Amino acid sequence: MSNSPFRPGYSRMPLVFGGHERTVREFENVFQNFDIGENQSVLVSGLRGAGKTSMLGTLGDLAAAHGWTVIREDAGTGLLSRVMDSRIPQILGTFDRDTRMRLTRLGIWEFTADFDYVERKREVTPLLRDDLAAIAQATDDRGILVLVDEVSSRKSALDELSRFALELSHAIAEGLNIVVVFAGVKIELDELLAQPHLTFLRRSRQLIFRRLSAEATRRVIRETTEAGGRKLALDAEEHLITTSQGYPYLVQLVGDYAWRNNPDADGITLEDAESAREKAISEVEERVISRVYRDLSEKDREFLQAMSPDDGVSKMGSIADRMGVSPQYANIYKQRLIDSGYVQMAGRGFVDFSLPYLREYVRTVVSTTSASPREPDNGGWDEFPPPKR
């Protein structure tokens, strides 16, 4: 039995990365020829599970293969200290002896006689911009790629991100070969851009991750299956494409379940694909969609509930009527949900769900809420009341 080549877990790089081939080629040119151009700073936004983290991993691998120094961290409390006190020292340990000798002469970090990293020198307050400049000087400015995932709009996180980004802007202003990539949900990235003193980020290249096309989905499913050493029946392939709806996380999840249904067989059959359908959809609803829905404001939920009766696109006028609000008021929440990635424009005056199975989930929520409440199941303990004391 061979292990499944599909990788639905969080932050696991897919074996076959689909849908962004042109972008990947452009960045390979950046890393190979230092042709940075518009890619000095990049913002990657999109749905949860749309492949943003995988893109960061792909860019990191490409940059490292061309000799760039890669600094990768998640946004959050302690970002600056984690990069300067942990990530950069780890990177210093990977440099060759000659590079560490150069770093020693710069006098920013302490090294042993064998040029093993010991600690930072503390004569002056350390700044990230100085660390980056020192690394660039010691590596003949071969390039530094900074990747920051999971951008959050929480105030504490934004304050930390703002200080971090400001340090990066100073390093960029010195003319170093630095590329900066921030990834998160668009509405969170917009909050970061609104912070003062981050003009360079407002000019960033925007990469918006949506669902894969049908053909890109087909390629990912087929090539991943073949990379695992098995064949994929055409009717099974069609079923997996239909089930996944091009949502990258679901592509990996339904492929994984289909693979595991009969792991000793030479290929994946329609029966395998059918067995994976309901389980994969249920897991996506539990792991992604329900959490997305819970995180929304009450009015955001009302907007989605007003969309849910429609089998296809929804007319904005109908949504406003169902919500009992003015069209102008409904438009505020339309834009919020578009920025969050859960709704998309579908022509003038029309919108549609962009996250697969969100409509069906909302309908279930509405149906459950409107139905008579059921008595909670407490595991049969009504027949065994606790003893009196």
Say if residue 286's pLDDT is above 80.
yes
Instruction: Using pLDDT thresholds of 50, 70 and 90, give the confidence band for residue 373.
Output: very low
- Give mean pLDDT, residues 190-194: 88
Cα–Cα distance measured from residue 237 to residue 219, given in angstroms and rounded to the nearest whole number: 10
- Give mean pLDDT, residues 234-244: 96
Say if residue 380's pLDDT is above 90.
no
Token representation of residue 41: 């700073």
Say if residue 283's pLDDT is above 60.
yes
The per-residue pLDDT for 123 is 58
Closest of 177, 180, 185, 183 to residue 200, by C-alpha: 180
Cβ neighbors of 113 (< 8 A, separation 6 or more) are none
353 Ramachandran zone, left/alpha/beta (phi>0; psi -120 to 50): beta
Closest of 23, 16, 62 to residue 44, by C-alpha: 23
Cα–Cα distances (Å) from 277 to 309, 360, 362, in that order, read: 24, 15, 19
Percent of the chain residues topping a pLDDT of 90: 67
**β pairing state of 41-46 and 178-184:** parallel
Output the average pLDDT for the chain: 90
Per the listing, tokens 């169902």 go with 322
pLDDT of 29-47, one tens digit each? 999 999 999 999 999 998 8
Is residue 154 a contact partner of residue 191, using CB atoms and an 8 Å limit?
A: no
Cα–Cα distance measured from residue 143 to residue 176, given in angstroms and rounded to the nearest whole number: 7
Percent of the chain residues topping a pLDDT of 70: 93
Domains and CATH numbers, the chain: 21-209 (3.40.50.300), 214-293 (1.10.8), 297-369 (1.10.10.10)
- Give mean pLDDT, residues 236-243: 96
Q: For the whole model, what pTM was predicted?
A: 0.85
Cα–Cα distance measured from residue 76 to residue 301, given in angstroms and rounded to the nearest whole number: 27
Highest mean pLDDT among 149-163, 178-192, 314-328: 314-328
Residues facing 343 on adjacent strands:
353
Residue 330, SS3 per DSSP: helix
Residue 232, SS3 per DSSP: strand
Residue 220, SS3 per DSSP: helix
Alpha helix (H) ranges present in the chain? Answer: 21-33, 52-65, 79-82, 88-92, 97-106, 128-138, 155-173, 186-193, 199-202, 214-227, 234-244, 248-261, 270-284, 290-295, 298-307, 316-323, 327-340, 358-370
pLDDT of 147-177, one tens digit each? 999 998 788 788 889 999 999 999 999 999 9
Say if residue 191's pLDDT is above 80.
yes
